[in-house]
Structure 1
Amino acid sequence: MLGLTPSQSALAFLILVTPICAWVAYTDLKYMKIRNTAVMALVAVFAIAGPFLLPLDVYAWRWTHLVIVLVIGFVLNLIAHFGAGDAKFAAAAAPFFSSNSSHISLTVMLLTAFLLGAFAAHRVMRSIPAVRAMAPDWVSWTRKDFPLGLALVGTLWSYLLIIALTT
C-alpha cells in the first residue's frame, strides 16, 4: 500500500473502473448482455491495483465480498430471473465496496435509487420515438426485462465518487 487515504484510493479506483463501467452500460443497453471480458477486466483492476491502493488486510478480506455476492447472485439467477451477467458483474464490483456499516447503508440507498431511476429513465426513453431512432438496434428497447447493468454501474461509480469526495 502506498499510504493513501480512503478518498485517494476511491479516486484511483474510480478512474480505473470508469471505462469498464461505460462499456458495461453500453453493452447492456445495446445487447442486454454484460460480457465476461468486462467482468474479468473489473476483477483485474481490483486484483492488480488493490494491493497498492488498500491496506493488505483490507484488500484480502474484500475478496470475500466477491464470493458472497457471486453466491447470492447465482441463487437469484436460479430462483428470480436475475441475469447471470448481472450476478457476475455485481460480484466483480463487490470488492470495491467497504463492509463498514455506514458504507453498507450508502450502498443500499444508491442501489435502490439507481434501480428506480434507471428503470424509470429507460422506460421513458424507450417510449420516445426520436430516442429509439438514435439507437434502433438496441435490444433493450424491445425486451420485457430491464438492463440491470445500468443500475449496477451507477451504484459502483457513484459510490466510488462519493467516497473519493467525502473521506
Structure 2
Amino acid sequence: MFDLTLPQGAAVTFLVLTLPFCIWVALSDIRSMKIRNNAVIGLIAVFLASGAFAFPVSTFAWHLLFGIIALAIGFALNAGGILGAGDAKFIAAATPFIMPQDAVAVIYLLAVILLVTFIAHRVLRAIPGVRNALPHWESWTNPKFPMGLALGPTLSLYFTFAAIG
C-alpha cells in the first residue's frame, strides 16, 4: 500500500508501546473534547525510551528536532484558531516517531482517516440511541470535530503498515 521507510522492528515496538496512548487520545477527545497532557507526555516518554534504541543517535536527535518544529507550528496554528492545543501537542509528540521520508504517506493516511472518522462521528451522533447510550460525551453536541479520533488511529495505522511492510 505505502512504501514506508520506518524499520519493521521499530514499527512493531512503537505500535505496541503507543497503542494505549492512541486509544486514550481518541476516547478522551470524543468524551470531553480534550487531549490530556498525560497522554501526550506518555507518548513523548515512549519515544525517548524506545527511539533511542530504534534509531542511531544522529537520527534520534533529528527526530526530536522535528518534534520541536511541529510543536512550534502547532502553537502558531492554535494561536490562529486553526488547531486545538491538544491536537497540536499530540502532533508534536507523534512527529518524532515518523520517518521524514514517510511524511507525505502519513498525511495521506491522516486525510483518509479524518474523512472516515468525521463521517462516522457525524452519523453516530445523529442516531438518538447512540447519543442516549453515551449522553455525557461532549463531542455529540460540540460543533467542532474531535481530531484525536483521527490522530490516534493515524499514528497506530502508520506503525501497522510499516510493520507488515
Tell me the TM-score normalised to structure 1 length: 0.92
- Map 1:47-62; keep pairs closer than 5 Å: 47-62=48-63
Relative contact order (alpha carbons < 8 A, sep ≥ 6): 1 or 2 greater?
Answer: 2
TM superposition shift of 1:63: 0.4
- SS of the residue 2:99 aligns to: coil
Is residue 26 of structure 1 aligned with residue 1 of structure 2? no
1:86 partner letter: D
- SS of the residue 1:122 aligns to: helix
**Alpha-carbon separation, structure 2, partners of 1:31 and 1:88:** 16
TM superposition shift of 1:107: 0.8
For 1:99, the equivalent position in structure 2 comes to 100
Deviations 1:83-121 (A, max 9, x none): 000000110000010001xx1221111111111111111
Deviations 1:3-39 (A, max 9, x none): xx81011100000001111111111010000010100
**Alpha-carbon separation, structure 2, partners of 1:27 and 1:158:** 19
For 1:116, the equivalent position in structure 2 comes to 115
- Map 1:135-146; keep pairs closer than 5 Å: 135-146=134-145
Structure 2 unmatched ranges of 5 or more: 1-5
- Map 1:61-72; keep pairs closer than 5 Å: 61-72=62-73
**Alpha-carbon separation, structure 2, partners of 1:80 and 1:112:** 20
Tell me the TM-score normalised to structure 2 length: 0.93
For 1:87, the equivalent position in structure 2 comes to 88
- The percentage of counterpart residues that share the same residue type is 47
Q: How many residues align?
A: 160
- Map 1:32-51; keep pairs closer than 5 Å: 32-51=33-52
Q: CA RMSD in A?
A: 1.1
For 2:79, the equivalent position in structure 1 comes to 78
1:50 partner letter: G
Structure 1 unmatched ranges of 5 or more: none
1:154 partner letter: P
